[in-house]
Amino acid sequence: MKPDDLLTTPKTCAALGITRPTLYAWIRQGKINPWARLGGHSAWFFLKNEVEKAKGRRYQRIGP
């Protein structure tokens, strides 16, 4: 894994077009899986491929 494979919480929110509270709700709901929590309890990091998966699920069409 390279450092470029990780996204910070603000970059993840920007990539998904969501707010930080929404991101935390998605974590609790299992919609996105964080890679690690560093620096105490304040810094979440996400793998780019997880963010891309979550982004794809967000824009999937619902219904027929």
CATH assignment of the domain containing 46: 1.10.1660.10
**Sole residue written with tokens 């494979």:** 5
Q: What is the pLDDT of residues 22-61, one digit of tens each?
A: 999 999 998 999 988 777 666 789 999 989 988 887 655 4
Question: In Å, what is the CA distance from 27 to each residue of 6, 24, 32, 39, 64?
Answer: 16, 5, 5, 18, 28
Query: Is 44 within a domain?
Result: yes
What's the angle, vertex CA 16, arms to CA 62 and CA 55, rounded to 5?
45
Residue 63's pLDDT band (cuts 50, 70, 90): very low
The reported pLDDT for the residue numbered 5 is 87
The reported pLDDT for the residue numbered 60 is 53
Confirm if 4 and 47 have CB atoms less than 8 A apart.
no
Domain coverage including residue 25: 3-58
Which tokens hold the place of 45? 């990091």
Query: Is 64 within a domain?
Result: no
Query: Is 14 within a domain?
Result: yes
Statement: the pTM of the whole predicted model exceeds 0.85: no
Query: Is 38 within a domain?
Result: yes
